[in-house]
Structure 1
């Protein structure tokens, strides 16, 4: 049996599900795009090809091997995108929560059922249908659970709005001992530079007390200020609109002092090193064209 344990974003990683780009399928049609960044690349004929994405994910996998992390992969679905496993589920403490994802993506959960079967069934939860919540919006920080949402009355009009307030309240009820803080995120169906698809597109903790943040990803300045007050402004690396677009906040921590980052994130990677982090740089710019990056490609199951 798998004994789940995830309490934050940065403790030493032991077991993780890493997505796969094998048999990723053809370039989607414009009307099939789930987000504005993918649409942008579909229309520009710059959408990533499978071979490049497979190579990038193998570079990520090799870093996990270097640190002795047990890596599980989804079962392959022919001609289907299975890169972003963070969307389909997440672990809080010892509980696996299955996401209510976009209906077209239900097969992705089936592809990791063999992993879920290794978990005590009492520790596997599926929210009711009206509860929308995806792993990219759920961020653990010890006593806190940060959750990205969209509070606009036009929620149902946005395919980029993935977690609703019913999702926030579901987690509050499931973990009454935790401090739950939701963040109202900026959404756009047409401009990727103004679309915080998930919370990890505009914020992520690193180390013990630091974080990466994009101020304009939050609809309310009070939400941004909450994080500034919690972490301290001097401990936050502020990214620009273009850096947010390139997914600079979507790095991934293997340990408190080890961060996997995209090799082109020069300004961020220099800041991380200056603050004592070991930065494992890999190429991931092709996968980034689908509005997801390193955190999106992972589903941590066990951390120390």
Structure 2
């Protein structure tokens, strides 16, 4: 059995589901793009190739093996993009919550049923249809659960708006002992530099008390400022809009001391090392063309208490 346990973003990782880049299908048509960054690369003819993405994900898998993490992978569905496992489900404490994702991504969940067999059925939650929520928007952090959302009346017009207010309320109801803190995110369907697809595209804690953040990803300045005050200005690494576009916040913590990061993130990686972290640098630039990076392609199942 898998005894699920995820209470924060950085405790030592014991088990994780990493997506797969095998058989992602042909380059999508522009009208089928899920996000503006994918659309940009579809139109430019620079959409990533399967072989390159497989190579990048195997590099990530090698880091997990190096640290002795139990590694699960989805079953491969032909012609289906299964890279971003954070979108299909996520774990808070001892519960796995199925995300209500874009309808044509439903089969991605079926591809992890062999993992769910290790989990007690009562620990798997299926939110009602009106609850929209994806793992990239959800971050357990000590007494808090941080959630990215978009509650504008034009929510249905944005394929980039993935977590609604009903999603925030659902998490509060399921975890009444936690303080649920929501943040309105900036959304765009056409401009990737004006779109925070998920909370982890503009913010993420690292270590025990530090964070990476981009002010431009937040719609409400007070909510951004709350995070700066919570962590403390001297503990925060502020990034630019261009660095948000490159996905700087979307690194992944294997422990409070070890962060997996994209090799090209020189400014961030130097800061992390200066702050005492071990930085495992890998190539992930091709996958980032789809609007997601390291945190997006993982679903932590067990972290040490």
TM-score for the superposition, normalised by structure 1: 1.00
> Does the alignment pair 1:255 with 2:255?
yes
- Note the alpha carbon deviations across 1:184-210, whole angstroms, 9 max, x for none: 000000000010000000000000000
Structure 2 gaps of 5+ residues are: none
Instruction: Report the equivalent of 2:215.
Output: 215
User: How many residue pairs align between the two structures?
Assistant: 304
The 5 A counterparts of 1:53-72 are 53-72=53-72
Which residue in 1 is equivalent to 2:138? 138
Structure 1 unaligned regions, length at least 5: none
What residue in structure 1 maps to residue 235 of structure 2? 235
The CA RMSD measured in Å over matched residues stands at 0.4
| d(CA) in 1 for partners of 2:262, 2:268 | 10
The 5-angstrom pairing of residues 171-250 of structure 1 reads: 171-250=171-250
Aligned to 1:122: 122
Offset of 1:177 from its aligned partner?
0.2
CA–CA separation in structure 1 for the residues paired with 2:55 and 2:286: 10
Q: Which residue of 2 aligns with 1:265?
A: 265
Report SS of the residue matched to 1:289. Answer: helix
Q: Give the distance between the partners of 2:193 and 2:36, measured in 1 at CA.
A: 9
Q: Give per-residue Cα distances to partners, 1:142-201, cap 9 Å, x unaligned.
A: 110000000211000000000000000000000000010000000000000010000000
Q: Secondary structure at the match of 2:28?
A: coil
Tell me, yes or no, if structure 1 residue 148 matches structure 2 residue 154.
Answer: no
- Alignment correspondent of 2:302: 302
Aligned-partner Cα distance in 2 for 1:152–1:43: 28
Tell me the equivalent position of 1:7.
7
Partner of 1:40: 40
Paired residue secondary structure (2:183): strand
Are residues 1:287 and 2:287 paired?
Answer: yes
Q: Which 4+ stretches in 1 moved above 3 angstroms?
A: none
Instruction: Give the equivalent residue in structure 1 for 2:159.
Output: 159
Show the counterpart of 2:111.
111
- Give, in whole Å, the separation in 1 of the partners of 2:290 and 2:60: 17
Distance, in Å, in 1 between the alignment partners of 2:117 and 2:87 is: 19
Query: SS of the residue aligned with 2:254?
Result: strand
* CA distance in structure 2 between the aligned counterparts of 1:260 and 1:133, rounded to whole angstroms: 25
Structure 2 counterpart of 1:74:
74
